[in-house]
Structure 1
Amino acid sequence: MNDVTLLAISGSLREQSLNTALLRAARKHAPPGLTIQLYERLGDIPPYNQDLDSAEPPEPVADLRGAITRADGLLISSPEYNYSVSGVLKNALDWASRPGGASSLGGKPAAVMGASPGNFGTARGQMALRQVLMATRCQVLVQPELLVFGAHHRCDENGEFTDETTLALLRELLTVFRDEIRESAR
């Protein structure tokens, strides 16, 4: 496998989201051989309802599952809400994890990162997200980690990450993740 395609999902619906900005930076600074596609329909996914989870689920759910299936891996950047993952992201992962035996998440490589204006850089939210991803049988990248604290100070007036330390750590995560996906495909 030469080129690797990642589906990038932000756990935030906010227009000026630091986590969406971090994913845009990932796309801009991706190493050669890595393509990052931003998933933009998280807000369209209805609350999980097993009564609607049939052979023909709601169209946004089918879209999410298909996008995950087509990608070589997932890159998730999420804020931390109440020491955990955002509700909209958890809901999307609940839909994507069904049906249990044929989940689009089963065996899918996943990398987690997060940006926060606070001092902990989404550390607790990432722990909760890693737990959810492991429960869905994703192959979660352990190291390197990217927890961007004080993220609003690491962006320019347009909301783009410009801090060289953050960008170097982001490039390292992307390179390691790309290489691990390539290695596992052999």
Structure 2
Amino acid sequence: MTNVLALVGSLRADSINRKLAEAAAHHAPEGIEVTTFDGIVDLPFYNEDIDGDTPPAAAVAFRDAIAAADAVLLVTPEYNGTIPAVLKNALDWASRPFGASPLSGKPLAAIGSAFGQYGGVWAHDDARKVAGIAGAKVLEDVKVAIPQSVVRFAETHPREDAEVTTLVQGALTALADASTEQAAA
């Protein structure tokens, strides 16, 4: 079983990207389990002064969740041309402690949806960049950007969209394959 931890960059309860993460969990191929970690909202802004011997409980729980996962799936909208602050902050917490972070070497893919015509590609590119610098093994070739989300999913959940199902299954399969390759190395 490959355990994939999903981090959603939108905090809205009715977020299309949250629904996209739900679609990933619902349609995960056999042998892959997707769990969404909702605790990134509880992370304080990263500050090395509070990340010492006793980091905040929310940071410990977050790092433990990443450590327990085989791979990470970032599901993010685009805010003003980049990733939401809550996701950037989570990646900052995940990058520490330097040299021994739970994200180090972990397979990671960035996907998502946005209202615009490009589906959030700038945010996904930035998420891959930040995650790579933070130490993740970023799957650069996994690209799922679903445009015009507000219109496309106005009356339907992403899990009911055949194209979305195919795309998220492909992303999850790539993560599982990368995780298996890493374990074998």
TMscore range, shorter length = over 0.9
Q: Is the 8 A contact 1:155 1:162 kept in 2?
A: no
* Alpha-carbon displacement from aligned partner over 1:80-121 (angstroms, at most 9, x marks no partner): 112111101101111111111211111111011011121110
Structure 1: 4+ residue segments shifted above 4 A: none
Shift of 1:134: 0.9
Shift of 1:147: 0.3
Shift of 1:180: 2.2
Unmatched runs of 5 consecutive residues or more in structure 1: none
Q: Which residue in 2 is equivalent to 1:116?
A: 114
Q: Is the 8 A contact 1:154 1:161 kept in 2?
A: no
Change (3 A) 1:168 1:153: farther
The number of residues matched between the two structures is 184
Matched, 1:90 2:85: no
Q: Which residue in 2 is equivalent to 1:73?
A: 71
Q: Is the 8 A contact 2:4 2:34 kept in 1?
A: yes
Matched residues in 2 for 1:96 and 1:180: separation?
Answer: 19
Q: Which residue in 2 is equivalent to 1:6?
A: 4
Paired residue for 1:39, among 34, 37, 46?
37
Unmatched runs of 5 consecutive residues or more in structure 2: none
Q: Which residue in 2 is equivalent to 1:48?
A: 46
Shift of 1:161: 3.5
Q: Is the 8 A contact 1:27 1:37 kept in 2?
A: yes
How much identity, in percent, do the aligned residues show? Answer: 38
Residue type of the partner of 1:50?
Answer: E
Shift of 1:158: 6.3
Residue type of the partner of 2:103?
Answer: L
Q: Is the 8 A contact 1:8 1:75 kept in 2?
A: yes
Shift of 1:123: 0.4
What TM-score, normalized by structure 2, do the two folds share?
0.94
**Secondary structure, counterpart of 2:72 in structure 1:** strand
Once structures 1 and 2 are overlaid, which stretch shifts more, 114-123 or 160-169? 160-169
